Amino acid sequence: MDPEDKKRRGKDTGMIQSKQIEGPKLVLVVDDHEINRDALGVILEDAYHIIYAENGKEALDQVYRHAEELSIILLDLNMPVMSGFEVMERLKKDEQLKDIPIIVLTADKSAELKALQMGAADFITKPFDIPEVILARVSGLLERSEGRKLISAAEHDWLTGLYTRNFFFEYANRLFHYHPELHLDAIVLDIEKFHTINAVNGREFGNTVLREIGGEIRAFLSETEGIACRIEADRFNIYCSRQPDYHTLLDRLQRKVSMLSLKASIHLRMGVMLWNQDIEPILMFDRARAACNMVRGVYQNPLMVYDDEMHQRELLNQRLLNDLNNATKEFQLKVYYQPKYDVQSDPPRLKSAEALIRWVHPELGMISPGDFIPLFEGNGLISIVDSFVWNEAARQVSRWKKKYNFLLPVSVNLSRADVFDPTLVDRLVKLIEENNLSFKDIKLEVTESAYTDKAQDLLNIVKRLRDLGFEIEMDDFGSGYSSLNMLSDMPIDVLKMDMKFIRNIEQSETDMHLVRLILDIAKYLRLMVVAEGVETEGQLNLLKDAGCDLVQGFYFSRPIPPEEFEKLIEKDMAIGG
């Protein structure tokens, strides 16, 4: 019998013309065992045209011959003459052929991972599954591929060559369920302030950074077992077998990007969740990401392995998220006020206050904003809290105006999420009108870090608010990255110097020097300066002598409830308001 015929297993494949793509799709079945070829032939023959090969070499011949119209290859791995792995390797090197989708036929589960790394799109397990499953796998993949280019576009990230999110999780789940023996860990890798890197060095450079990281991750995965994807702009997921030391991996990737540019100073951070037989990949990666977020802005040792403490923290977070609804209904949220004093008058005079949220939880007691504000900022719930605080503060200012005829503007904090809320301006205008206030009665604190991302949009919005008449205070100035020379373009009236500058001014001449520098620049730009976190008389005197206008801190008062705050108002009025 003509060997060609034998391979065809009696199917009329020789008749396929290159333009016959509209008809049944062409499938190449490669297996050295006739019984396997037969089995697949029987299953697939009603739906597809089938051609066969007995080993890798014949498979390549068939591929070259039918390159134009071949839709899919079912490929055995262990074969004489040329293995399936070698076929894949050859095809991957060929621009024309590298995108033909391949389903690997294997009895050896441990080979799946390697095949996947080499570009296989799916598996059919031997001995063969029930026919419906095989048909579904083939048609599913064909649907996904819809012409060959799409499959690589759909499953590989164009920039890094790593997998896409969906594909990654599909296979991570598969590995988790079918290969419990692999004990794969979840790693999340993130680039510190990637937007700034893009903004300063251009997107092309940003892309180069991502590509290099992708390349290095692939190199790493060729030495160990695992898969990886780019999950978001600058975040990578790696699912790999346990490494003796994750610092080594982080150093390796860090070294790669550091070589790109010394002046761009790119910093990577990494979170790890170690394998746990009861935790599915999606949750493992959530936790690895939580760990990774813990080391945001940490440059010394930006690696965190998820541990029990973090788990407790997550449980608490979950609880706070669940309880917020009740908190607003049951009046557990309270607004406290902390005074700001004009220290250039003698004695210092009460000038304004900052509204600060407190949560008096029925079971957990008093929770400070540091414990829940960042949490709610991360998921949009912050606007519930902030609206509450703004309303409460506006009502309070109005009450004090009536009660004391005393001008006491109150600052409220705006988070990033508020600033990008399209209804922000309307909300604030309504707030002023409903409480019969003027725009000068409520000041807006916008934290410095909000200005670093999407700077232009933010500046436009803040400028609109300022044009309406709101005074804008830049909160936590100096805690992040805004440079002094950006200040002149910013629509702000007041700088709130971050606490960390103040903390050591009594001990450190350098710190005091920095404070003087900031005060000088602010004066030049005609900005008022508030020093935050002033706790001692010594700090107060140094700041006063250096010309600082306003001081806020425990030295004068902690944030206190409004009833208590009234004592401060009365005291100040007695001085001669």
Of the pair 9, 496, the CB lying nearest Mg ion is at 496
Residue pointed to by tokens 């950006």: 486
Q: At 121, which amino acid appears? A: A
Cβ pair 358, 368 in contact under 8 A: yes
User: Cα separation of 280 and 174, whole Å?
Assistant: 10
Binds 271, which of ligand C2E, Mg ion, none (CB < 5 to 8 A, cut-off by type)? Answer: none
Site for Mg ion in 408-427 (CB under 5 A): 413
Give the shortest CB-391-to-ligand C2E separation in angstroms. Answer: 11
User: Cα separation of 526 and 521, whole Å?
Assistant: 8
* Preceding peptide of 281 cis, ω within 30°: no
By CB under 5 A, tell whether 475 contacts Mg ion. yes
Of the pair 63, 529, the CB lying nearest Mg ion is at 529
Give the shortest CB-328-to-ligand C2E separation in angstroms. Answer: 13
By CB under 5 A, tell whether 473 contacts Mg ion. no
Give the shortest CB-307-to-ligand C2E separation in angstroms. Answer: 25
Q: Is 345 exposed, middle or buried (0-12, 13-18, 19+ CB in 10 A)?
A: exposed
Give the shortest CB-555-to-ligand C2E separation in angstroms. Answer: 7
User: Cα separation of 365 and 24, whole Å?
Assistant: 69
Binds 386, which of ligand C2E, Mg ion, none (CB < 5 to 8 A, cut-off by type)? Answer: ligand C2E
By CB under 5 A, tell whether 445 contacts Mg ion. yes
Site for Mg ion in 505-534 (CB under 5 A): 532
Interaction site with ligand C2E (CB under 6 A) = 338, 356-357, 368-370, 373, 382, 385-386, 389, 413, 415, 445, 447, 475-476, 532-535, 552-554, 559
DSSP for 219-273, please give it: HHHTTSSEEEEEEETTEEEEEEEPPS-HHHHHHHHHHHHHTT-STT---EEEEEE
Binds 356, which of Mg ion, ligand C2E, none (CB < 5 to 8 A, cut-off by type)? Answer: ligand C2E
User: Cα separation of 382 and 357, whole Å?
Assistant: 11
Give the shortest CB-449-to-ligand C2E separation in angstroms. Answer: 10
Give the shortest CB-391-to-Mg ion separation in angstroms. Answer: 18
Of the pair 129, 371, the CB lying nearest ligand C2E is at 371
Backbone angles phi, psi at 34, to 5 degrees: -60, -40
Strand partners, 335: 357
The torsion region of residue 130 among left (phi > 0), alpha (psi -120 to 50) and beta comes to beta
Give the shortest CB-536-to-ligand C2E separation in angstroms. Answer: 9
Strand partners, 226: 240
Of the pair 129, 493, the CB lying nearest ligand C2E is at 493
Tell me the residue length of the chain: 577
Binds 533, which of ligand C2E, Mg ion, none (CB < 5 to 8 A, cut-off by type)? Answer: ligand C2E
Give the shortest CB-468-to-ligand C2E separation in angstroms. Answer: 20
Residue facing ligand C2E at closest CB distance: 553
Q: Is 263 exposed, middle or buried (0-12, 13-18, 19+ CB in 10 A)?
A: exposed
Of the pair 237, 413, the CB lying nearest ligand C2E is at 413
Positions touching Mg ion (CB under 5 A) are 413, 445, 475-476, 532
